Structure 1
């Protein structure tokens, strides 16, 4: 007979959120909390006692099972989180059971799913494998044979009578003051109270020694928090015991990790059971490792929007560690990477399966840059143009001498144009400047680079000719000559003006951008071509006859003929194609549903005394996009009731709307902090240490208010040679 609790094998593995971001080869998993990790200490440090470590074999849910053999492994990572799959405590050696219990208490077992409502939420743990509930304290202190067999071995699944007042089976299980359950709960509390441990009671240090131990540890903590104490000198360094000086790297990292975890717990408490959004971005640190910054966006109790940096590890691990339920997610914001935002197989789709209201909103600050990148990759001629543009900017800005020549060339050009009357004088006009490089994450810099080149076209060409003659190396002179030739072609000038035109359009709202690009595509070809021809005449650039046959250096396509005209090439192969690609990118990254969601949300715009307030838009917003958060009865109240009676419902909807991500700026600030912390001199820093430093640096608001006694309490959870209580 098959085991009824055995998980059926799947014929094809399914992609889940937990398996989406797998740790890279060689990377250690750090799902466990800070208290689970046994630190390594330098010689003569206060090191925890070395303990043999055990792991049980695969659990059997029947209670008549012979004893099992336990092998040495890591206690903190080898235990089953699912209560339905755990090995009974009495199967472990007697002298090791307390260590196993402590590890389970710190690991944090599965909590109940949101659709089940139980009393005793701390004690009752749900197993998704068996679809049953188990009593956590009774499991930790069960005996052989078990006293509470139904709540530790078999599991409970009679859901109908759970909340039936006095007949509730869980309340019956709790019993009176001396019931097995109450005794197990008290044992859990005593087990985690370090001051009650047997070794602390047998070897009791004096009160004066205990105070010195606390002061010595506080000194290490205060160093991180930039505080000082006048009593420090009498208990540290040469005045401290050699086995408890707390100056080694391992101890200081451990204390730092405890402080960072306390800050993370405060962030988790701030989220509570409210709705939140997740913001994710990725970048390379100084050791060329890809780091994923995870930021939570939420609305606090005071109605203020908060964006809190949480970690730089796998998303699934962060959600599991901090018990952040996907069903409470109301927004997703990524940097545009296809594996995250994919509508069918990406992380966005996986989250939407579990929470349909977790809407994906693309970062608005990156819209132009990413549209531009998409157009560049899909259009070969545009890609070559930006390659040549980067070479021009690098060559002209290569040295102070080149910059000085550029400014001198500009002065000469301005004087010449003033003499001919082509430009006018005025306050702020005819400024001397430099070409601007395009930044990787600054979308406006691309537009500025092209605008500056158009303004300084002649001056830039003059500097390139000078570098061709006086360049320091043959390769530099050869590259400059090739770039200067390309810069003087009609095709380069055409694409230069096309990018200037389209990027100038995309520097507005997305909805307006789509309209303007469509108008440019349909109506303004002749006007645009005339402006390019006029620029070429002004700068003595050869203009091809548009009716001549276009001759391409490469074969165009098996479906296209080679005898097209030059006008056809520039109109349809460049002008129309570039605009179409940009429209496609805009439509892909800013969907109609996302734009409608943001448009309806604008009904809460507080400007001009809530002039945009529209009750119909608000009701549509609640009914179409937040049906999980509002009942039909509440939506009817919104539609029919006067404004004075719907403030509570409107406030609830505003809090949901405010969680929508419109920018990943906070993740970029996190990477700025990463560059300050992980420098070239400290590029071997491990990820956990880096994440702890980043949390304390970014969330200084919480770090400055750390309770030192709370840090000491976590520090002493691992057995020490000295006492703190």
Structure 2
């Protein structure tokens, strides 16, 4: 039927003068609006508005359409315009035997007129769409122009009579059509305008809440208060900060807090949680994108939080696309049991959540607990059963911890400072110590850190220097104790701290931790290299053996000198040893010399040496020594191709027989290339070497060699990262917030740390 007519837009019977640009803009808006409405109607009621009957004689009444789509049908017809086909109109005989027919020029004179090919009759588009059926049928031709059609071709006046005056049914129907096409007045346009304003205000409120949450996360502050009502003085940091933001920013005052809808304030605790969760999800996505498909190692530690829940902290270690070693905090997982099977199940669940695979693991690092490193049933063994290339290196730094925590009240700290200061003045006056700038600063007992193992060495040194002052403070506490319990504790401490055995153990642990101090500090650094770790372990073993074999005399002389200065009785080394608090008849007869030198001095050193040997077993030692051959120090003096080939053989999943042959050739070319390159002449470690390989794009020239470097770098030798995660956990979940849910704590940790340690 389309070939018989041309579609036209609705034209006013007395159209106002307007430019073609304005008409084009109006038509464009109408087309866009029509398409949007048509799509909505078709989706809801399965009505094809683009395929409505065009011939007036074939249309059904507008009242037969569902009431909620009638306006959409009307708008579709109005946008298509009156049906005005350009055909050879048939002739009809009149009463006077004159042949009459529809005149095509009427299209221009009466823009509302439509012609029905089916009925050979004229119709009015506006009256069909809007004229009420109950209206006076005698006005404007009754139903002729909307139902049966006008066929009296010789009475053109009938067309003029149909239009009538300003208030005629036709003109009222026409105005309704224009109003319907005017989208600014349509109810859907009004609702859309209101919806757009609501969305804009919603974004303002959301941005204000997000900014407040971001600030609180950066500062590590709590969110909620005890009473969040308007008149409360303890509404919590979030609401107080949001109110302060409104005070500073007048642009958001009209839409935030009191001026916001009651059901859309965006200040509820669940909204705060959703915002923090979105931060955590985005942070995790960035970490996973940064990881990509690279190999990685996992560092795990488990500890109880303030609410006595067992938590497992998980950190991944990998080499990014720039050759940098990255450690990222992946999450805290609550575990009901600390068995190896439970820990493995929790780890697998976390990996599954983030789309990670145990098959990509190339290293494990734990704290050495039996459920972690057990040879037969530990987490290490369970993971290696699933992936033999996930090698485990024990976190040696945990063996350097000493359970010595000294804490006192502020009043007693001040008293301790005063006692120590007076003794310093006396020694300066007597010439025992020198005075000068930077010397003899005010000091106190150094606190030992839970996750900074080297701090224990500083605590022991501080305690030895302030021993006499500590004794004086304990005497004051004993004299001024408010209860017998406090007096008894102070008395017991005085007795113990002035014994030779206590001083002996104090100096022994001080010397041992002094020997391992550099190793402990090195293992705490984020840029720790395996080469340095192995060197420091070797040095520690040598120094311990030297102390065991040749250090007794000097050590005993140091302890004896300290006891003489502090009036502590030194036992005769040839007398029988008697353990404090036990009868002489029930103990083995041995001399003080044997007890202090053999059982304590030599026994403690032997135990530590044995731990070093156990932790760095034959496989791990060979693995680490092979990795040391990658070191670029002194123009790659440690390079050993045979050991590097052996290193590749530790990873059969990554180096096939063919790859090993190619690796041998690459290594020969690689070592000649880098030794004669100025860019590689001053590198200090494998980490610097990997970054330089990426900078010079030699990682693409020697891909197998670069893979060896990444495997060496991701193998962890310390779990300092997870220890720092636990430190952050203790700040976020404390005694005042001990009921914090697991997901909420994990999201805050993730958003606060941003995956960084």
TM range, smaller chain: 0.5 to 0.7
Deviation digits for residues 380-433 of structure 1 (CA, Å, limit 9, x no counterpart): xxxxxx5xxx56x648983422332232223224433x1xxx555666555553
Partner Cα distance (1:398, 1:253) in 2: 43
The answer to whether the 8 A contact 1:263-1:696 is kept is yes
Distance 1:579 1:396 in 2: 37
From 479, 488, 500, the equivalent of 2:510 is 500
State the distance in 2 between where 1:204 and 1:307 align.
53
Aligned partner of 2:646 among 617, 620, 624: 620
- Residue number in structure 2 paired with 1:689: 744
Contact 2:397–2:453 under 8 Å retained in 1: yes
Name 1:642's counterpart in structure 2.
Answer: 669
Q: Which runs of 5+ in 1 are unaligned?
A: 1-202, 374-385, 702-725
- What is the Cα-based RMSD across aligned positions, in Å? 3.6
Corresponding position of 2:211: 226
* Range moving further from structure 2, 494-503 or 482-491: 482-491
Distance 2:359 2:612 in 1: 29
Kept after mapping to 2: 8 A contact 1:297/1:305 = yes
- TM normalised by structure 1 equals 0.58
Q: In structure 1, how many angstroms separate the alpha carbons of the residues matched to 2:425 and 2:618?
A: 49
In the TM superposition, what whole-angstrom CA distance separates every residue of 1:448-482 from its partner, at most 9, and x where no partner exists?
Answer: 22222322333433443344444454443433333
CA distance in 2, matches of 1:427, 1:457: 24
Distance 1:219 1:498 in 2: 64
Of 560, 580, 584 in structure 1, the residue corresponding to residue 606 of structure 2 is 580
For the residues of structure 2 that align with 1:538 and 1:234, how far apart are their CA atoms?
A: 75
Partner of 1:263: 283
Give the deviation of 1:326 after TM superposition: 0.6
Q: Whose radius of gyration is greater, 1 or 2? A: 2
Distance of 1:497 and 1:657 partners within structure 2: 38
Confirm or deny that 1:406 pairs with 2:406. no
Change (3 A) 1:244 1:519: same
Residue number among 648, 651, 658 corresponding to 1:633 in the alignment: 658
Q: 1:594 aligns with which of 602, 605, 620?
A: 620
Q: State whether structure 2 residue 733 is matched by structure 1 residue 678.
A: yes
Task: Say if 1:683 and 1:414 are closer, same or farther in 2 by CA, change over 3 A.
Answer: same
Contact 1:366 1:443 survives alignment (8 Å): yes
* Structure 1 residue 217 displacement after superposition: 5.3
Deviations 1:626-681 (A, max 9, x none): 23211233223333442149622111111222212233333344334434443544
Question: How does 1:75-474 map onto structure 2 within 5 Å?
Answer: 208=193, 211-212=196-197, 214-215=199-200, 218-219=203-204, 221-223=206-208, 225-226=210-211, 246-313=266-333, 314-363=346-395, 365-369=397-401, 372=402, 390=405, 394=408, 398-416=412-430, 418=431, 422-423=432-433, 428-474=438-484
* Contact residue 416 and residue 444 of structure 2 kept, 8 A: no
* TM superposition shift of 1:235: 6.3
Change (3 A) 1:336 1:316: same
> What is the CA–CA distance in structure 2 between the aligned matches of 1:554 and 1:304, rounded to whole Å?
57
Give the secondary-structure state (helix, strand or coil) at the position aligned to 1:291. strand
Q: CA offsets per residue over residues 588-640 of structure 1, 9 Å max, x none?
A: 334343344333323333455555444344323222x3232112332233334
1:642 aligns to what SS in structure 2?
helix
Structure 2 residue aligned with 1:40:
none
**Change in CA separation of 1:309 and 1:552 when aligned onto 2, cut-off 3 Å:** closer
1:550 matched to 2:577? The reply is yes
- Secondary structure (helix, strand or coil) at the match of 1:359 reads coil
Residue 354 of structure 1, CA deviation: 1.0
Match of 1:312, SS state, is strand
* Whole-angstrom distance in 2 between the partners of 1:245 and 1:608: 65
TM-superposed CA distance for 1:206, in Å, is 6.0
Check whether the contact 1:330–1:359 (CA below 8 A) recurs between aligned residues. yes
User: How far did 1:232 drift?
Assistant: 6.0
Structure-2-length-normalised TM-score: 0.56
Q: Is the 8 A contact 1:277 1:297 kept in 2?
A: yes
In structure 2, distance between residues paired with 1:467 and 1:244: 59
Aligned with residue 596 of structure 2, among 546, 570, 578 = 570
